[in-house]
Structure 1
C-alpha cells in the first residue's frame, strides 16, 4: 500500500517498505531495505573469453556466477554526484578495470544522486554505505574476504567508501584492504567528524588523489598518503575548458584510469615527490631530494605522507622517471630524464 501527500513542493509517501520524502524532484528515502530496490544496485562484471558479463547482486543473498574466478582481484567502484550517466570520471575507471580483466562491482546509486539533488544525495551517502557493508559481509561465506577488496570512490562516492569501511570496522573489527579516494567531495564534508567522511582509519591503506581542492574536492590530507596533482587545484588539461574547477574534479578518475592501464600494459608512471604541505609546494620550498613514490593503481601500500606531482596537459598524462633517477630512495639530482620508472624500482626505492 502506498499513500502520498503533497504539500507545495514536498511529497511524502508512506509504504510498507519505506518512508519517502520528495523535495521537488529530489528523493529522500527512510527505512528502505537494501534489497529488491532500484535506488541502490550492485552490478558485478566479469570477463570471460574476452567478453564482459554483468550480474545484479542481492546484498543480502548474493549469488556469484559459476565461472567467477576468486584469484582475480575484486574492485568495488562507487560513483559520485549525478550517477554514471554524467559521471565520466567513475565510468572511465570502471571501463578500464573491465578492459584489463578485473572483477568489478559497481555501486549504482544514481536515483539517490541525481542532478540537481546534491543536498539529498549527501544525506543518503550513509544509506548507500550501509548497503555496501551488508553486501561485503554477505560475500564472506562465498570466500571473499574484505581484506582482499580494493574500493575506489569518486567525489561523494569516496565518502560512501569511507563510511562503508567504518561500518565494517565496527561490525567485524576489520575493513577493506584499500580505499582509493578520487578527489573526495568538499561540500557538506568540510567540518564533519571522521565517522562521517573518508579518513585513514577506514581501511588498511587509504590513498587520496586531490585535483580540485577548495572547490569540488577536499583540501586537507585525509589518507595514509595524499597526492596533490599539479598543486591539487586546477589541472593543465582544464585551463581552456568552460568550467575549469569541474573539469579538474573529473580529472582524478582519468589519471587513475591511466595508471590502471600502465600497470598492466606498461607505460609511464605518475611519480610524486614528498613535501610537507601545500603551502610549501606553492612557495617552491619542497626539497628536490625528498622521497618519491607512485600514485595510482600501483601505489605502494606502506607509503605515508603528502606528495605532489605534475602532469602533461593531454593524455597520456603521466610524466614518469627512469630507474636511474633514483639513488638510495631519493631523486638523483644529476639525472634529468623524464622516462618511465619501473615497478620494481618504485617499490624498493621510491
Structure 2
C-alpha cells in the first residue's frame, strides 16, 4: 500500500507539460483540446494547469499583475515549439508577470492546414471563457498581453475582437498568410484588435502575411530572405521554416537585453536602404522605435486612429541579430554621372576593423548632389581612428573610374549623440581602398 501511495503522490505532483505529439498524430489528425499552463516567478520551472471552469482555484495566478499569453501556431510534426523554453525563461526574467502558455497542440497538429485554421476561432472562444473568469477575479483587460506566433497571431486577434479591442497589447510574430491574405479585417489580426498591435513580418513571400496588420509593422531585412537562412530546397525543412521562425528569435533577442534592435519608420524597404528614413526626427524625444518586447514604449508617440506605421531595418545572421548603422553622406563634384557602390571599413585605435554590408542597389552620384548611403556593421566601434572607403562599379570591362568627393560625413544612427566625422576634397580610384583619419565635422557642415 505504501508503494502504491508513493506512486500516486508522484503522479499528482508531476508538472503539467506542453503536449508532445509526433508525425503519426499529424497523419491521423488530432481533436482540438486546449490547456493553459501558468508560470510565474514563484513557479518558473513547474507549470500549473489552470482549470477551465474554475480559474480562481489557481494557486499562483495573481490578477493584479500583467497576464501574458503565448499562443503557438500550426504544428505539422506535433513536437513542442523549439523556442518555447527560451520564451518562458526570458519573459519571466524581464518582468514579474503571469505567463500563460496556450497549448492547443491537439488541434494544431495535423497535415491538413485548413483544419488547424478552422480551429483558430474555437481556440479564441475557449480563451475568452478563461479570460472572463480572470476579469471577474480582478484582472484588467489593459494589463493583458497576447503574443501569437503564425496562426497564434490570428487567434490573438480573434480574442481581441471579442473584447472590442480593449486588450492592452497583441504582438503578432509573422502572422500566417495562407488562408488569411485575402480575408477582411474581421477574419484576421487587425490594428483594432488591441490598444497596441505590433507585428514582425519575416516571411512575407511564403508563410507569412505581407500587408500591415498592426499599429506598427516591422519588416526585418525587407520582410523576407532572412540572413543565415537556407536559400535552396536541399536544406530540407529548415528551408521552409527558417524565415518564418526568425520573427520569434528576433523577439527573443529583445528580451535578452544584449542590444536594442533599432528600426526606422519608412514607406518602403528601398527608401530605407537609400538612407531616406533614418533620422526619426519627427518622433523625438523617443527617437526610432525598437523591436520586440519594449516596442510599446513607442505607442505614446503614435496618433490615435492613424494609419499603420511600417518600420524597416537590417539584421545580422545570428543572435542577437543587432546591426550598428551609420549614415554615409557624400557630395561629389564629378561632371559626369557615376553609378556604383561604396564599401566602408572602420578601425579603432587598437587596429580592430569592421566592414560594412554593401547595399544591393547602386547609388547615383551627380555633381554637387548629396547621396546618402546606409552602412551596416555587425559590431560597433565606439572610437573611430580610421575610415577606409572603396568605390566600385562592379563592371569587369571598360575604363576604371574616379569618384571625386567634395565632402564625406559619417553619422552613427544607433548613437546619434556621437560626434559626426568628416573628410573633405579627396578622390576615390575605382577598386582601390583609400584609408584616412577623419576629423570632427564643423558645426557649419550641412
> Could you say which TM-score interval applies, normalised by the shorter chain?
0.7 to 0.9
| C-alpha distance 150-338 of structure 1, shift in aligned 2 (>3 A) | same
Contact 1:274 1:307 in 2 (8 A): yes
Structure with max Cα Rg: 2
Tell me by how many angstroms 1:93 deviates.
2.1
Counterpart Cα distance in 1 of 2:169 and 2:179: 24
Q: What corresponds to 2:40 in structure 1?
A: 46
Q: What corresponds to 2:277 in structure 1?
A: 287
**In the alignment, is residue 95 of structure 1 matched against residue 95 of structure 2?**
no
Tell me by how many angstroms 1:175 deviates.
2.5
Counterpart Cα distance in 2 of 1:102 and 1:23: 33
Contact 1:272 1:308 in 2 (8 A): yes
* TM-score normalized by the length of structure 1: 0.75
**In the alignment, is residue 308 of structure 1 matched against residue 312 of structure 2?**
yes
Tell me by how many angstroms 1:238 deviates.
1.1
**In the alignment, is residue 58 of structure 1 matched against residue 51 of structure 2?**
yes
Within a 5 Å distance, the mapping from 1:139-158 to structure 2 comes to: 139-158=134-153
- 1:139-171: CA deviations, max 9, x gaps? 0121111111111000000000001111122xx
Counterpart Cα distance in 2 of 1:71 and 1:311: 37
Within a 5 Å distance, the mapping from 1:1-350 to structure 2 comes to: 25-27=28-30, 39-48=33-42, 51-63=44-56, 65-70=58-63, 72-82=65-75, 85-100=79-94, 101-169=96-164, 175-239=166-230, 242=235, 243-262=238-257, 267-278=258-269, 280-281=271-272, 284=274, 286-290=276-280, 292-299=288-295, 300-302=298-300, 303=302, 305-319=309-323, 334-336=410-412, 338=414
Contact 1:208 1:223 in 2 (8 A): yes
- 1:65-121: CA deviations, max 9, x gaps? 445444543211100111882422455323322344532011100010004131100
Contact 2:228 2:318 in 1 (8 A): yes
Counterpart Cα distance in 1 of 2:318 and 2:101: 27
Contact 1:47 1:53 in 2 (8 A): no
| C-alpha distance 206-90 of structure 1, shift in aligned 2 (>3 A) | farther
Counterpart Cα distance in 2 of 1:183 and 1:268: 22
Counterpart Cα distance in 1 of 2:416 and 2:40: 31
Contact 1:186 1:214 in 2 (8 A): no
Tell me by how many angstroms 1:180 deviates.
0.2
Contact 1:88 1:250 in 2 (8 A): no
Q: Secondary structure at the match of 1:159?
A: helix
Tell me by how many angstroms 1:60 deviates.
3.0
Contact 1:234 1:244 in 2 (8 A): no
- 1:48-76: CA deviations, max 9, x gaps? 2x843311113332035445444543211
Residue correspondences, number: 292
Counterpart Cα distance in 2 of 1:78 and 1:340: 37
Tell me by how many angstroms 1:313 deviates.
1.0
* TM-score normalized by the length of structure 2: 0.60
Higher relative CO (Cα under 8 Å, sequence separation at least 6) belongs to: 1
Counterpart Cα distance in 2 of 1:23 and 1:237: 29
- Gaps (5+ residues) in structure 2? 1-24, 282-287, 303-307, 327-373, 375-408, 418-446
Counterpart Cα distance in 2 of 1:64 and 1:317: 42
Tell me by how many angstroms 1:212 deviates.
0.6
| C-alpha distance 67-126 of structure 1, shift in aligned 2 (>3 A) | closer
When the two chains are superposed, the root-mean-square deviation of aligned CA atoms in Å is 2.9
Counterpart Cα distance in 2 of 1:64 and 1:255: 36
